[in-house]
Amino acid sequence: MTSLVLSSGFMNQQLFAQEHQRAHIGLIYPLSTNGTRAAQISNTISLHALAGVSAGEDGAAISGLATIIKGDQRGVVISGLANTIAGAAKGAQVAGLLNVVKGHSKGIAAAGLINMARSAKGLEAAGLLNIAKEQATVQAAGLSNVAGTAEFQVAGLGNIAKTNNGVQIAGLINTAAQANGQIAGLINIAQKVKGVQIAGLINIAAESDYPIGFLNFIKNGAKQIGASIDESGNAVLALRTGGKYTYGIMGAGYNVRMDNAPYVMEAGLGFHIPVSKLFRVNLEVSNTANTNFKQDAYYKSSFRPLLGLTLGKHLEIVAGPSFNYVNYMSGLQAYRENTVYNFFGAQATNSLFFGGFAGIHFTL
């Protein structure tokens, strides 16, 4: 009796064991050399004019439209439209539109539109979107990348990750709960940033010591509003926002000396160097525009090493020299009479000169 049971089990195991073929060639399932049993057979080489189905692939699978693998894939799979792999993938998946790996992916996934995987160790490159539910090493997409944990993400529009251990680079926006570094054309959003945040406009974080952007809203950072005056008569009311070390400057004001360009707009970046409880050095680079919002305009770039004196918790007085470059159209009133160097072009005047800056800042 026992021998009959063992014999029956052995026969069933043989019956249902996955079959393997060296080559699988066909038009479309089930019109192939493996026929209707193709989904139960794994292959080393699969070639299909339209679409192929198999239990697994451990070499190369090429289809004109789609390759469907019910199990694991090793090697290379190339399809004109889509590759779908129910198990794990190791090697390369190349599709004109879509790669879907329900298990773990290791290697390279390249798709014209979308790559999707449970986790991706290697490179995901897509024209539109990469999605890794758990973990991704490198994601590069024309539109957006999404991952639970990511090492490196590059996207034309935006990146989303719960944890980013490397760098996020996006044309528009980056979001992460934990980030090592973020670079975005417009805005970065994170809870905690260990490295540098660089944004074309806004950085938002609970903790970030090195945000580089014109507006930085950092929960554990600093916000100051201040009034200042420079050597050219620019009286500016500016907002300074940032982290422990770096900050951004946005301001507007009025020039008390220039009737032809009285309105002032300012944007810049700064770096705090702590010296003592009372003093610190503020290194600032600033771009200032003087205009009448018609034709007359002056554009000044300045470097300002400023000494800051802290009085209490909410008041800081700053003052220091500045080194300036100004550009304006030829024929306009001279921006500065006393200059170090002048270059007169066909249509513009360029000048270098020394100046000074003083202000009072209130910590919010």
d(Cα 44, Cα 101) in Å, to the nearest integer? 19
DSSP 333: P
pLDDT in tens, 182-201: 999 999 999 999 999 999 99
Residue 175 tokens, joined: 């979001």
pTM of the complete model? 0.85
Q: What is the CA radius of gyration of the chain?
A: 31
d(Cα 189, Cα 161) in Å, to the nearest integer? 11
Q: Map residue 346 onto helix, strand or coil.
A: coil
Is 230 part of any domain? yes
Whole-number pLDDT of residue 263: 98
Q: 253-259 long-range contacts, Cβ below 8 Å, gap at least 24?
A: 255/290, 257/232, 257/233, 258/232, 258/233, 258/290, 258/298, 258/333
Q: Map residue 2 onto helix, strand or coil.
A: helix
Task: Tell me the β-bridge partners of 269.
Answer: 248, 285
Whole-number pLDDT of residue 18: 66
Whole-number pLDDT of residue 284: 99
Is 163 part of any domain? no
Is 135 part of any domain? no
Is 280 part of any domain? yes
Is 104 part of any domain? no
Closest of 183, 133, 130, 203 to residue 162, by C-alpha: 133
Is 359 part of any domain? yes
d(Cα 162, Cα 143) in Å, to the nearest integer? 18
Whole-number pLDDT of residue 140: 98
The C-alpha angle with vertex 169 and arms to 168 and 171, in degrees rounded to 5, equals: 140
Is 156 part of any domain? no
Query: How many Cβ atoms from other residues are within 10 Å of residue 123's Cβ?
Result: 19
- CATH number for position 312: 2.40.160
Name the residue type at position 161. A
Number of domains in the chain: 1
Distances (CA, A) of 187 to 143, 172, 181, 249, 284: 15, 6, 13, 16, 22
Residues in CB range of 103: below 8 A, 6 or more apart? 72, 85, 86, 87, 88, 89, 117, 118
Residue 271 tokens, joined: 């770096």
Whole-number pLDDT of residue 138: 97
Which parts of the chain register pLDDT below 50? 1-16
Is 18 part of any domain? no
Instruction: Show the domain range for 339.
Output: 222-363
